[in-house]
Structure 1
Amino acid sequence: MTDKVVVSAPESVWGLSAPLLEGPVWVERDAALWFVDIKSHKIHRYDPATGDKASWDAPAQVGFALPAASGGFVAGLQTGLAKFDPADGSFTPLVDPEPDLPGNRLNDGTVDSEGRLWFGTMDDGESAATGTIYRLAADGSCVASAPKVSITNGPAVSPDGKTLYHVDTLGAVVYACDIDAEGALVNRREFVRIAEGEGFPDGPCVDSEGYVWVSLYAGSEVRRYSPAGELVETVPFPVDAITKIAFGGPDLKTVFATTANKHLSAQDKAARPTSGDLFSFRVTVAGLPGTMIRAGA
């Protein structure tokens, strides 16, 4: 395993100055990074080879947009999962996992090696313990898979597809769970706990060596942890709120990071002008190849 892998400092590549960027994902079929701005109801696409940028309006707060094998994307809206077609900008509802919790919204997601979508919900007020992790089943239903917390983040899955990591952001804990043969989460245990005053764990991401990268909100850095939960490297940022990273580019060694500025005062925004931008930096260890949703969508 490689410990020190970062070879360049994070730099802003798209000056969005957005309230809450999230959900970066490298989509190999069009060689571009896709991500969202939750509070502005936007889905963004960035092509690092050409510098081309494009944006779409979403009908509600949008926590992620992940590619589907059937074409287009599955978007996680406040109103539930929807099929998103970039060709015409349309959103077609699929399923609402929590019709009895209108104060919740979908926040983060990933696709495992089996083509299954895993995603989280959270209290939009960021206080009530009403969020959980779901799996989109083959029949299009949503299966709850973790205890309730206020703000879920992740999930992320290990290279062998056997371990799922998810985050209780306000609890400052990253959990690891085993994924059993039926797709259930078992043997949930604490993987990493962020010490008080060091920030809050946001979106996790796993590289090809099985190391877990954790973005820190109000922590000004991204951390790389070994599969045993040992901190091996930190990546300092010129902004304080990093929400998630994704590996992309032809070699999957360019890391893209989404950030936020919704918590900053006008004075703080002026002092940290790149807050809410999309960043990138280079590493020597590749990420995992992307997977498209094949179950339930």
Structure 2
Amino acid sequence: MTESIAYHGEGPVWSAAWGGLRWLDMLAGDVLSLAPDHTVARRHIATVVAAVRPRRRGGAVLGVTRGFALEDPDGKVTILNPLWSDERIRMNEGGCDPDGRFYCGSMAYDGRQGAGSVHRLDPDGSTTIVLDEVTVSNGLEWSPDGDRAYYVDTATGRIDVFDYDRAGGLSGRRPFAVVPDGPDGVTVDAEGGVWVALYGGGSVHRYAPDGTLDEVVELPVTKVTACTFGGPELDRLFITTSREHLEPGTEPEAGALFTCTPGVRGVPVREYAG
């Protein structure tokens, strides 16, 4: 759908509030946005920009290098205080729960086992560690009814599922599906199907609500990073890709944004309440 415009494309999100699709060139620290004529705008935010979601009041909430940032409705971005000082650790991926709290998980640049955590930003600005000793914290998304959350720590080779309620948060972690070739970002459709990008598998897999594989979308590149539903009817699947660690001249479409129409619809993006 686009040319190879990102080194490490990630985190696509569709919101009518900001006019359509945004995604990330994560390791460049840039937010990309897609215009109706398919031109792409690029805005630099920080050394790393790891996740973005709309705010109910307008603007956006972001995961950045070592913490969170807030974009006001007028576009001004404020970087909040860092959550840690270790420059070997960075944020990686995140999402919002049904109660408007924003989560982002971290990882070591060298992929060191257990170095990451999942942090939550509440609407009042307070932060909490909700999961620790993770290795490559990746996709996090809730079921359509909001009572389950699907989560990927890529190093485990699977998608896990949690029970969720506002008071208890995430609990009862258990395996949902074993995923080959590096599970990465996830999204959930209106029927409860869980879609996961395979970083190293050149595809997106859909798992039915019972955890069985029931659809595969093949891509012409190896490093598929994340996906989301978008378009006015939420019936298009947007897929980000990366050319991280690829040799120059190989996989010329790596880093492009792809799209397809898989025959199911997504659910509206959950917004940050702060």
TM alignment of 1:136-155, pairs within 5 A: 136-155=121-140
SS at match of 1:39: helix
d(CA) in 2 for partners of 1:86, 1:271: 40
Task: Select which of 263, 272, 284 maps to 2:251.
Answer: 272
TM alignment of 1:244-255, pairs within 5 A: 244-255=226-237
Percent sequence identity over aligned pairs: 34
Displacement over 6 Å in runs of 4+: none
d(CA) in 2 for partners of 1:86, 1:16: 30
The question of whether the paired residues in 1 share the 8 Å contact of 2:100 and 2:123 is answered with: no
Q: Deviations over 1:97-143 (max 9, x none)?
A: x3243321111111233222122111122224221222222331222
Look up the match of 1:4. none
d(CA) in 1 for partners of 2:113, 2:4: 30
With over 3 angstroms needed to count, the CA separation of the structure-2 counterparts of 1:42 and 1:229, relative to structure 1, is same
d(CA) in 1 for partners of 2:97, 2:168: 10
Look up the match of 1:20. 8
Look up the match of 1:261. 243
Task: Select which of 62, 69, 83 maps to 2:49.
Answer: 62
The gaps in structure 1 that reach 5 residues or longer are 1-12
Q: Deviations over 1:226-268 (max 9, x none)?
A: 11110001111100011100100011011101100012112xx
- CA shift at 1:43, angstroms? 0.6
d(CA) in 1 for partners of 2:105, 2:136: 8
The yes-or-no answer on 1:286 pairing with 2:265 is yes
The yes-or-no answer on 1:234 pairing with 2:234 is no
> In structure 2, what residue type is equivalent to 1:140?
G
TM-score, normalised to structure 2, is 0.94
Look up the match of 1:199. 181
- CA shift at 1:41, angstroms? 1.6
State the structure with bigger RCO (CA 8 A, min sep 6), 1 or 2: 1
The yes-or-no answer on 1:112 pairing with 2:100 is no
TM-score, normalised to structure 1, is 0.87
The yes-or-no answer on 1:130 pairing with 2:115 is yes
d(CA) in 1 for partners of 2:115, 2:45: 24
- CA shift at 1:87, angstroms? 4.7
The count of corresponding residues between Structure 1 and Structure 2 is 274
d(CA) in 2 for partners of 1:29, 1:138: 19
d(CA) in 2 for partners of 1:28, 1:246: 14
The yes-or-no answer on 1:223 pairing with 2:210 is no
- CA shift at 1:80, angstroms? 1.2
TM alignment of 1:2-81, pairs within 5 A: 13-47=1-35, 49-81=36-68
Look up the match of 1:8. none
d(CA) in 1 for partners of 2:230, 2:19: 8
What is the RMSD of the two structures over their aligned residues, measured on CA atoms? 1.7
The gaps in structure 2 that reach 5 residues or longer are none
The question of whether the paired residues in 2 share the 8 Å contact of 1:110 and 1:119 is answered with: yes
SS at match of 1:66: strand
Look up the match of 2:143. 158
> In structure 2, what residue type is equivalent to 1:66?
R
Look up the match of 2:160. 175
d(CA) in 1 for partners of 2:126, 2:87: 18
